[in-house]
Every structure is written in structure tokens, then in C-alpha cells.
Chain A
């Protein structure tokens, strides 16, 4: 049947496809099962060859951004995924990861049955069992641990929207040891720094008014290779309109290539540059005077503090041109308040410098008046969402992640702290780990420590969609249905307008996998915590929550999102600014830091130079991947891998290394990497090397990812902990290069 005129080529192909594959649906499904991509189907009369009519609006989970998406379904197969035009974060468009979500739902290596370990822990040998047996085993062991050591002996690690059920479960169980590596291993320092300065974090997603900005400074952000959808959309608008882009990066990133000025900074010296910029703004009076007088405190101390930090001083530290430092500061000042220094996201670089460096960024944003102004950092609003009523959580012992006075400013438990507590049984024993959606073997640095801690546990449970490395160590593995196959709790968005999105299934769960709400409820009931899961099922839960929140669930199911009313998010729109700090003002100098014996204002400490013949190891993101969680995705694997080690061309010439050669890295502690392919390029300084994080998988079950690229974690044997909030600085390692063969 011709559904479009003149489509002889394409109509023929369907007829031919039909001719070839004609037969049973099963035969066709079986034939299709081998191909990674679905486009055409035999459904004549269907408007879009990729769908049998079902387009489900739901929420992506390929990264933490949580864009609204539209999943097209054909014969219970997700054929293509688009951005939802209704969702404020996607606005109809999507990054490559979300576009390739079908590669996760239809990953042939997915976990489909509950598993119980049969070999020694870490041998990756399991037998499939029923949910009865799996949950029963877990409940039994947890009870034993509770009786012996108390409920606080259980730690829960998590990442992702679906963790909400399990955080609820373990709060109900009675432990405060609930940590996400994304804090102390990633955004922690900048969250703490902005909280100390403005009384609020930059947000997740960050509430940056990029498109309206006149001057955008990226320091430690490689937006563009970092594919946070909305930010990249606004970044493109900013570039296209001719905004003043200043990029600070030892590497000529994609963002750097679009910048008016690229500052190829010596790694580790960013704080010096920031202090010099602050110096210029203050000494030349180019900061937002009225804004500071009205909203900030500690200015005089700041001015005195930065007096010696001239561009000339910073130039020597950073290897940048002092006039360029001066002129870029002036440009920021001229554009203010529509000037924005991006807070960055992954901020755990050097340890003691991290929170302070982020503080310097926050101070700079304050001087520019960015906070609360158009073109700077807007003030978001969320949707008022009523919870489903459950009993109050029992009181529990304080979390074990920190010793008294350790990391006093951490806003959440620190993941590696729970690891240490497990190893040392200090302040009390931790005997069980429940891991949801985070591959601790790759996400925590110092793998050997993680494995040692795991071996000391009485119980390790992993809930995951694919058999990542952590799954190989578990005693019980619970297969969760992928994000395309399940409901999750309502997903609130704090943005210019608040919104609430619904994750709902597009296709049924694969095999015996189950949605998280079901797993948590069933486990909770076995643990005697049924009162905390009083709803019958997810429909009951969602209906009640929506009713109490004045949301129409039918609309939510149809549109995937309900957006709140228009409101002011900047001063220009009429918003009144307020700061949730003890002084109710922007705290340029931080009394709270000073009281705890930390620098009240950022101080620059020169980093160590790489030893002769060594390069500082830098790592980052690749646009088509989300660190390690997408390495097994066969759709994303069709794209440029980005799994090579970037090496400066002159340095490579001296080493006799050519583009594409395989080399091994040997770090300052003698750790040797597996062979990795080299990208010889002019796009990076000669004193550092760069590689994306998330490759080098060893899990047997990840048949596609195994052996691709190398794990930078193997080279990160040295970790510098930020004493302010416990962040693990991971860029203090140096590697030498050995040619392979």
C-alpha cells in the first residue's frame, strides 16, 4: 500500500522486505532480533514505518539530565526515540545517548533473571533463581545482620531516578548510610562551594541562562563533548548569536574551538586564574557594585585578599598571557550581569583545591552579578508535589561515612567514606551493601580498596540492568526492568518553570526483570516494612500522589509531563533575590569555613609538576557515552568511540609514537595500564594526556564493552581528598608512555 506519492524506491523496499520476510510474525521477529536497528516493518498502512501506532512519552535515563522523550514502539520493540517537544529540558531534541536508548533496552547482555552467587565472591559465577528465592535470601541475611549489628550496618549506594524506592526502603529500614558516588566523586565540591556562597547549589540540571548570556566562561567544562541536552541547545544559540565565549582548558575542546578566546591553562592552576580575574574586576571597578553592596558581605576582606593576585602573577603560574587574563576579565565585567562563569560539574580534581576553586568561581559569579540575573544563573522553581503518606522513618544512627570533624561541609554521605567504614568497622560495623544502578568498581577510585571492602561484607546485593563489574561481585543480583519498561516515581524538575514528568513503560519488561517499585515493595514486605509501601501497586501509588498534588494522571500519561505556571526566575522578570545563608547575604568570605579552620577565601597552592618524562593524566566525557554505563550499548558503539588517549604531537614525536599506535601508561606508583590506542594531536598541551572515563570493562557479561579502551581508574592510584567536604581528587596522577611492541 502506497502511503506516499512517488516513493517507488521505498515502497519497493517494503514490498521486497515483505517478500523476503513474509511468513510468520515470529519468523520476522526472529529475523529482526539480530539487527540492532529497527526502522521498517511489515505494517502496511502505518503512517510511520518505525511504529505500530504506539508512541509513549516518558523520561530518558541514559544520564542524570532526565529529558522527556518519545519512544516509538513496533512489535514490542523500541525502534526510535526522539526528544519530547513538551518537556522543557528536551524541547523536542535529544542527545546521542538518549537517541540510542534502544541499545540499552534491547541489549542482548541484559540481566533477565534473579541470580544467586555460586562461586567465590568475584568469580562472576551465578545460578538463576526465582524472585521468591532471591528476595527471601536477601531478607534472611539482612535480618541476621540487623540482629547482630543493628540496621545501620547496611549501606546503600545509588545512582539514578529509580533509586527513590530503595532510598525510601532503607530509610524505613533504619540506616543513614545512603550515598551516591555522584557527590564525593563528582559534583560535591561545587555544590558545597555554591551553597556556602549563595545558600543554594547550582542545580541538577544547572540553572544557567546560557542562551541569554553575553559572556560565557567555561573553566573545567567541555560543553559540547559533555552532552547535557538543554545546556548544549542554549550553548549553540549563544554561539550562533555571537556571544563572547571564553574557554579555559588544557585541551582544545569542541567548546574551545568555538571560543573567542581559548586559554590553554597549565593543569592545576585554575584557582590562580580565577583569583587574578577577581583581582582585575575589583581593582578596576568592573564588578557589579550595587549588586554587591546590596546583596553581599565580605567584600572588603575579598578585595584585600586578592590584592597581590595580579594577572602577571597568575600568568607565571598558569603559563597564560597576562594581557589576555586582563582583557578577558574586562570582557566579563563589560557583559555583566549577563555574564556567567559556568560552575562546572565534575569538580573533584586535586583535593584540597576543589571546594576552594569552586568558591572562587562562585565569588566571580557574585561579582558579575550573575546570580539571579538574566544571562547568568536563574532561580528555579519546582512543582509542589505531595508525597504518598507513609509512617515517619525510624531514627537511625548517624551515617558512618565520616569521623567526627572529617569533611564537615559534606552535604550528603560520602561514598568512599562508607567504604572506609566497612573496611575499618569504624565507627561501627558495616556488613551489607545494597548497590542500585552504580558500578562501584569503576565509579569509586582505588578499585583494590573497593574489592577489599566487598570481600569483608556478609552480603552484597546489586540491582542493575546490565551485568556490570559490581554485579560480578554480588551475592544476589536483582534484574531491574530498563527505563523503557517501567514506571518510576514522579520526576520533578526545578527549572524556569517547574514541571513534573512521568516515566512510564513503552514495552513490557524483558524476561523476568522487574521494575524497582515492585522489587522495593516486595523486599520491604519481607522485611516487615509493608507499612511503608501501603499502596497496592504503581497505579495506586501514582493515582494517589497525583490526586494529592492536584495533577491529572491521565494528562501526565498522555503528555509525559505537566509544566507549571510561568513565573519570574530572574531579577529582570521581577524576582526578589534572597540567600539562604546564615547572614542572608552572599558570603564572599566564608565565616563558616573560617570557623572550621579552612581558608575563608580561596588560596592558590601551586600543584606539583609532572616528574620528568611523565604527563598529568586528565580524563573527561565523550559525547556519545555516559562514562561506563553506556559502553555496552551496541547502538552507541556505532558512533565515534572516543576511547583513545590524547597525546600532544610534539611529545609523541619525541617518543616515536604515531597516530593510532598502541601504548601502555605507567603511573607514578608503577601501575601499568592495558594497551590503549593513541590519538596524536596538536589539540592538547605537551604536559598532560587526556582520555575519556568509562572504558576498559572487564565484566564477562558485557560482551560488547569488554576489551574496548582502558580504564583510567587503573591509573588513579593516588587520590587527594578535599578536607572541606570529602571529595576525591583524581587528577593528581602522572603517567609515562611505553610503546607497545
Chain B
């Protein structure tokens, strides 16, 4: 099983409900974000385009954070997600330096933190907090190895893309336009 998250950008309106739902579900400290919204406007008036995305850790299959972690705190969980074992984290922050997505932050308690893909919810058969709250159903999480899943359906779309493809990290979070 490979857990992936596929986000439909055309649906997203940038309301940031996903940001707040995650903060409440995961006790994310004030001023810090496990997920966030990025808006990119391009062009000059009136020829304009706007790209709106909910972003977070991309749970890469070839994660530079896992590679660079000296203690093994950042590790592959085996279900497609990358997790942090807080017991092993020294706060050296090589992972933050290695992440091409800027997805990690230092928790006030000292360890490095990031999106866990709500593994505690997924294990219970629930959706991630962001996926469940999203009023536009922009976010879908599921098993890429299940061809009947919504995520597999989205992955078959021609407009599928990943962020920072030049980093070649093979992320498990991708977008469709």
C-alpha cells in the first residue's frame, strides 16, 4: 500500500480551512504550520492566472530528510508516509535544510515536526483532517495501489504534476490542475 494525497487545484479556493483543521487535530503551536496555502498569481492586468494550492510535507519516496537524518528519527513508515520519531530527534535540523519544500518546522518542545498525513486517523479508516474539512473536496487521500480509489483516478489525469520536480524526490503528494 502506498498512501498518496492528490490535490485538485481547480477546486481549491484557498480558504485555509485545511490549515485550521490540521492545527486543531494535531495541536500545532501558534505561528507554525503543518500545512499552508500558497497562492501564485502570474501575468499582467488583465491577462492573469492564479494557482492556489494547499501544501504540506510531500512524503517523498526518496526523501532527502530521511537521507540526511543522522539518528534515524526521520524515517519511512512503510505505508508511503515519512514520519519523525521524536525519541530520536536531536533538533540538529539537517532535515529542515534538506527539505526542498520547506515543510518542516521546529516545535517549541525542541523536536522537528511536520505533517504526519494524519496517520493516526488513516489507520482508523478516517480521512486526514484537511481532507475531511475541505469544502471543495480538493484534497483526496488514499492508496495509490488501489486502481478504484479516488486518488488513483486523479493520478490518471494528464495534468498531474508535483512541486519542485527538479528535486527528484518522488513525492507522494501531487496535484492536478
Contact = CB atoms under 8 A, between A and B. Distances in A.
B27 A638 contact: no
Interface of A: 4-10, 12-13, 16, 35-40, 47, 49-50, 79-83, 92-96, 99-100, 102, 223-225, 227, 229, 232-233, 235-237, 239-240, 252, 254-255, 257-258, 262, 264, 623-624, 634-636, 638-640, 648-650, 681-686
B43 interface: yes
A50 B29 CA distance: 15
A548 B45 CA distance: 60
A649 B124 CA distance: 49
A232 B135 contact: yes
Given A92-B132, A96-B20, A252-B50, A39 B25 contact: yes
Interface stretch (B5-13, B62-70, B94-102, B161-169): B5-13
A72 to B, nearest CB: 9
Given A80-B129, A93-B133, A236-B13, 4 more contacts: A37-B28, A80-B21, A227-B13, A638-B33
B20 A99 contact: yes
B23 A239 contact: no
9 contacts: A5-B123, A10-B119, A35-B29, A37-B27, A39-B24, A96-B19, A233-B136, A236-B11, A683-B50
A259 B37 CA distance: 20
Given A96-B17, A232-B136, A254-B13, A49 B50 contact: no
Contacts of A236: 11, 13, 135-138
A648 B45 contact: yes
Given A12-B87, A39-B27, A236-B11, A100 B20 contact: yes
A47 B124 contact: yes
B68 to A, nearest CB: 18
Contacts of B138: 236
A648 B45 CA distance: 9
Interface string B9-49: 01101111101110111111111010001000101111011
How large, as a class, is the contact surface on chain B?
A: 35 or more
B86 A16 contact: yes
A252 B48 contact: yes
B15 A227 contact: yes
Identify the interface centre among B13, B31, B135, B137: most chain A CB within 10 Å of its CB: B135
A40 B43 CA distance: 44
A262 B48 CA distance: 10
Identify the interface centre among A13, A229, A650: most chain B CB within 10 Å of its CB: A13
A457 to B, nearest CB: 39
Given A39-B25, A80-B25, A4 B120 contact: yes
B115 interface: no
B1 to A, nearest CB: 13
A8 B87 contact: yes
Contacts of A682: 41, 43-45, 48
B15 A224 contact: yes
A229 B134 CA distance: 10
A45 to B, nearest CB: 14
Given A5-B123, A93-B135, A236-B136, A683 B24 contact: no
Given A10-B119, A94-B133, A683-B45, A257 B50 contact: yes
A7 B135 contact: no
B28 to A, nearest CB: 6
A262 B77 CA distance: 46
Contacts of A7: 119-120, 123
Nearest to B28: A37
A9 B132 contact: no
A49 B120 contact: yes
B83 interface: yes
User: Which 6 A-B residue pairings sit nearest by Cβ, starting from the closest?
Assistant: A39-B27, A236-B136, A257-B50, A224-B13, A80-B24, A236-B11
Given A5-B123, A39-B25, A623 B14 contact: yes
B89 to A, nearest CB: 9
Interface of B: 8, 10-11, 13-17, 19-21, 23-31, 33, 37, 41, 43-46, 48-50, 52, 77-78, 83-87, 116, 119-120, 123-124, 129, 132-138
B14 A254 contact: yes
Given A35-B29, A224-B15, A639-B16, A82 B133 contact: yes
Contacts of B119: 4, 7, 10
Nearest to A39: B27
Given A38-B24, A240-B8, A257-B48, A9 B30 contact: no
Contacts of B137: 93, 233, 236-237
Contacts of B49: 257
A683 B45 CA distance: 6
A233 B43 CA distance: 28
A109 to B, nearest CB: 16
A94 B44 contact: no
A79 B28 CA distance: 12
Contacts of A237: 137
B29 A233 contact: no
Contacts of B33: 638
Contacts of A639: 16, 19-20
Nearest to A264: B46
A634 B50 CA distance: 28
B116 to A, nearest CB: 7
A710 B150 CA distance: 44
A638 B18 CA distance: 12
B120 A10 contact: yes
Contacts of A634: 30
A94 B30 contact: no
Given A9-B85, A82-B133, A257-B48, A37 B24 contact: yes
Contact of A37 (B29, B77, B86, B116): B29
Contact of B19 (A16, A257, A638): A638
Given A5-B123, A236-B135, A262 B46 contact: yes
A254 B87 CA distance: 43
Given A102-B24, A254-B52, A82 B132 contact: yes
